[in-house]
């Protein structure tokens, strides 16, 4: 056992150095082989790099030659374009030089003309000065001779001559004035019809179909009782806050708002309509709804006034006037809405102003404001024309506008074309078909009143009302009424109608006198 160990240890001691030398030799051999392979690979890489370099140089030379050929071609094209542009530039320069030469020639000719004109003016000025000097000498001689012949002072002669010339001119102007008046009287109605026809043919505004009935209809009796109250306690609250009266019609299941102030009536009507949708109606809730409705109503009034002013192109209208024009939205006359009536009169008056050489903006302004007094005549004494004129005068309107408003119902005698245009436009608006309506009762009452007036005069046999009250035709006894009396009778009937009846527009009175001779052949 020990021998084996000794042999193993001996061989191990000998094998270790031998193995180390063998490993070293083997590694050196591998290193030499790797160096040889690396050298071969390096030679191959150098050869490939030389090959690639030669090819790249060849391609670069070829690309350089191609670029040179391309740029030579482009340079030739550029040179050609440059030559063409140079030729065009030279041609334009030649044309400009030629035009400049022509203009210089024209300028020289005109300058020559100006010089000749200046010399001509100087010669004429010299002749004029000579003539004026001779004129002054002749005038001096005439004055001396006139003074010597008349034995009067020069100033006295001048005054007499001036009076003579003035009298001649006055006679001439009076004659011209008489001719103008005669022509106006002969053609005035024809011209007026012509202007009215032209203005109306340019006006296409539809009439307003609103009638301003302040009635609230309830869906059923239960809703009416809830809104009005079992014992009208809710209606009393609305009446107290709005300042109107409420009339309840149980058969029609409706309520009417009654009062002189149209805005208050509208406030009450709108509030009742909102209360219809309320589940719990009490005094506090009524107060809240009326307050909100009032705020919305005033806002709408301002919007309506501004819209009307903008529609007619009136920009400098006072805010208070705008508010009053908006309040006219709830004012009616003969069932005609006055808000839209004022706008209509403004348009018509502007069209008539153009036809008669009056400023269109002044015509529109006067026509728009003519009935503004109706928005406040329920709370003030006097006619709406005077009330409206005072109101717009306080708010800075011009005197001609104020006069036109005040005079449109002859509360003041019209003295301007603008005032008469407002009167005409107001009459046209009220007389348009469909613009105004009346109830059956009022219509029948009007017909009866006109018939009674006609029959009240002596000698009248019968009275007929024609054209819906626009004409009263009276048939008289020819034995009692002669031709002269017939003329006077028509005037008396017309005066009595003016005094006792209220009506828009005009009523024509016609007296018919007929004599019949009857006999029988037997």
What confidence tens digit (pLDDT) does each residue in 377-411 have? 777 888 889 999 999 999 999 999 999 999 998 88
Among candidate residues 187, 506, 192, the one with its CA nearest the CA of residue 352: 192
Q: Please list, residue by residue across 29-50, b when 16 or more beta carbons sit within 10 angstroms of its beta carbon and e when fewer do.
A: eeeeeeeeeeeeeeeeeeeeee
- pLDDT for residue 51 is more than 90: no
Distance from C-alpha of 316 to C-alpha of 284, rounded to nearest angstrom: 42
Q: Please list, residue by residue across 113-124, b when 16 or more beta carbons sit within 10 angstroms of its beta carbon and e when fewer do.
A: eeeeeeeeeeee
Mean pLDDT of 358-374: 93
Confidence grade of residue 11 (pLDDT, cut at 50, 70, 90):
low
DSSP 8-state secondary structure symbol assigned to residue 468 = G
Indicate the domain borders of the chain: 215-431, 440-514
Distance from C-alpha of 238 to C-alpha of 232, rounded to nearest angstrom: 10
Q: Looking at 202-232, list the stretches that DSSP marks H as alpha helix, in order from N- to C-terminal side.
A: 221-228
Distance from C-alpha of 374 to C-alpha of 385, rounded to nearest angstrom: 8
* C-alpha 339: how far from chain center: 17
Confidence grade of residue 56 (pLDDT, cut at 50, 70, 90):
confident
Q: Note the pLDDT of residue 463.
A: 92
Q: Is the Cβ–Cβ distance between 357 and 348 less than 8 Å?
A: no
Decide whether 215-431 matches 440-514 in CATH topology.
Answer: no
**Helix-, strand-, coil-residue percentages of the chain, each rounded to 5:** 70, 5, 20
Q: Note the pLDDT of residue 505.
A: 62
Q: Note the pLDDT of residue 390.
A: 93
Contacts of 473 (CB under 8 A, 6+ apart): 463, 464, 465, 466, 510, 512
Per the model's pLDDT, the better-predicted residue between 140 and 128 turns out to be 128
CA angle 303, 305, 307 (to 5 degrees): 65
- pLDDT for residue 30 is more than 70: yes
What is the CATH T-level fold of the domain 440-514, as seen in this structure?
GMP Synthetase; Chain A, domain 3 (3.30.300)
Per the model's pLDDT, the better-predicted residue between 440 and 271 turns out to be 271
Taking only Cα atoms into account, the Rg of the chain, rounded to an integer number of angstroms, comes to: 55
- pLDDT for residue 433 is more than 70: no
Q: Note the pLDDT of residue 144.
A: 78
Q: Note the pLDDT of residue 238.
A: 92
Among candidate residues 441, 429, 372, 469, the one with its CA nearest the CA of residue 208: 429
pLDDT tens-digit readout, 156-189? 777 887 888 888 888 888 888 888 887 777 776 7
Confidence grade of residue 10 (pLDDT, cut at 50, 70, 90):
low
Among candidate residues 463, 408, 469, the one with its CA nearest the CA of residue 438: 469
Q: Which span out of 18-22, 29-33, 376-380 was modeled with the highest average pLDDT?
A: 29-33
DSSP string covering 233-277: HHHHHHHHHHT-EEEEETTTTEEEEE-S-HHHHHHHHHHHHHHTT
Q: Note the pLDDT of residue 373.
A: 92
* C-alpha 212: how far from chain center: 27
Q: Note the pLDDT of residue 392.
A: 94
pLDDT tens-digit readout, 451-475? 899 899 988 889 999 877 788 999 9
Q: Which pTM was predicted?
A: 0.54
In 3-state terms, what secondary structure has residue 125?
Answer: helix
Mean pLDDT of 274-298: 92
- pLDDT for residue 2 is more than 80: no
Mean pLDDT of 275-301: 92
Q: Note the pLDDT of residue 369.
A: 95
Distance from C-alpha of 268 to C-alpha of 239, rounded to nearest angstrom: 8
Q: Note the pLDDT of residue 4.
A: 55
Q: Note the pLDDT of residue 504.
A: 62
Q: Note the pLDDT of residue 397.
A: 93
* C-alpha 428: how far from chain center: 22
pLDDT tens-digit readout, 231-271? 899 999 999 999 989 999 888 899 999 888 889 999 999 99
pLDDT tens-digit readout, 87-119? 999 999 999 999 998 988 999 888 888 888 888
Q: Note the pLDDT of residue 3.
A: 63
DSSP E strand stretches across 396-484? 460-466, 471-477
* C-alpha 462: how far from chain center: 53
- pLDDT for residue 332 is more than 80: yes
Distance from C-alpha of 103 to C-alpha of 107, rounded to nearest angstrom: 6
Average model confidence (pLDDT) across the chain: 85
Q: Note the pLDDT of residue 1.
A: 59
Q: Confirm or reject CATH 1.10.3210 for domain 215-431, answering yes or no.
A: yes
Q: Is the Cβ–Cβ distance between 263 and 330 less than 8 Å?
A: yes
Q: Note the pLDDT of residue 466.
A: 85
pLDDT tens-digit readout, 413-431? 999 999 999 999 988 887 7
Per the model's pLDDT, the better-predicted residue between 225 and 209 turns out to be 225
Going from the C-alpha of 431 to that of each of 151, 203, 422, 468, the distances in angstroms are 73, 14, 14, 12
- pLDDT for residue 432 is more than 80: no
Q: Note the pLDDT of residue 298.
A: 93
């Amino acid at each position: 056992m020990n021998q084996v160990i000794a042999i193993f240890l001996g061989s191990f001691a000998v094998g270790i150095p031998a193995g180390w030398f063998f490993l070293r030799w083997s590694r050196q051999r591998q290193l030499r082989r790797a160096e040889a392979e690396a050298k071969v690979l390096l030679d191959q890489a150098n050869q490939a790099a030389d090959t690639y370099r030669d090819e790249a140089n060849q391609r670069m030379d070829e690309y350089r030659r191609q670029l040179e050929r391309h740029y030579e071609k482009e340079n030739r094209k550029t040179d050609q374009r440059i030559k063409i542009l140079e030729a065009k530039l030279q041609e334009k320069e030649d044309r400009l030089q030629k035009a400049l030469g022509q203009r210089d020639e024209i300028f020289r000719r005109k300058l020559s003309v100006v010089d000749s004109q200046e010399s001509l003016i100087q010669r004429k000025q010299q002749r004029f000065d000579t003539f004026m000097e001779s004129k002054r000498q002749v005038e001096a001689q005439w004055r001396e001779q006139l003074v010597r012949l008349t034995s009067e002072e020069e100033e006295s002669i001048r005054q007499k001559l001036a009076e003579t010339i003035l009298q001649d001119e006055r006679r001439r102007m009076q004659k011209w004035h008489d001719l103008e008046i005669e022509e106006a009287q002969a053609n005035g109605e024809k011209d007026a019809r012509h202007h009215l026809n032209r203005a109306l043919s340019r006006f296409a505004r539809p009439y307003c179909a609103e009638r301003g009935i302040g009635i609230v209809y309830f869906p059923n009796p239960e809703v009416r009782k809830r809104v009005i109250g079992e014992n009208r306690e809710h209606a009393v609250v609305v009446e107290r806050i709005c300042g109107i009266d409420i009339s309840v019609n149980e058969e029609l299941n409706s309520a009417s708002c009654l009062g002189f102030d149209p805005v208050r009536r509208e406030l009450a009507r709108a509030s009742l309509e909102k209360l219809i949708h309320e589940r719990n109606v009490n005094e506090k809730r009524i107060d809240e709804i009326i307050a909100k409705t009032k705020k919305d109503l005033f806002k709408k009034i301002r919007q309506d006034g501004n819209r009307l002013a903008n529609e007619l192109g009136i920009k400098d209208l006072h805010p208070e006037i705008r508010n009053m024009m908006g309040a006219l939205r709830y004012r009616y006359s003969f069932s005609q809405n006055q808000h839209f009536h004022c706008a209509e009169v403004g348009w018509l008056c502007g069209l008539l102003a153009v036809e008669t050489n009056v400023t269109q903006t002044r015509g529109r302004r006067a026509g728009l404001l003519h009935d503004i007094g109706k928005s406040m005549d329920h709370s003030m004494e006097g006619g709406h024309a005077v009330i409206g004129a005072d109101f717009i005068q306080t708010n800075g309107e011009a005197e001609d506008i104020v006069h036109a408003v005040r005079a449109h119902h002859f509360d003041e005698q019209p003295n301007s074309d603008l005032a008469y245009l407002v009167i005409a436009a107001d009459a046209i608006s009220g007389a348009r078909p469909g613009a105004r309506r009346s109830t059956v009762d009022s219509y029948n009452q009007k017909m009866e009143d006109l018939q009674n007036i006609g029959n009240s005069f002596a000698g009248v046999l019968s009275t007929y009302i024609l054209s819906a009250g626009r004409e009263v035709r009276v048939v008289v006894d020819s034995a009692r009424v002669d031709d002269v009396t017939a003329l006077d009778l028509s005037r008396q009937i017309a005066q009595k109608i003016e005094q006792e009846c209220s009506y828009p527009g005009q009523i024509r009175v016609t007296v018919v006198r007929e004599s019949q001779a009857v006999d029988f052949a037997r």
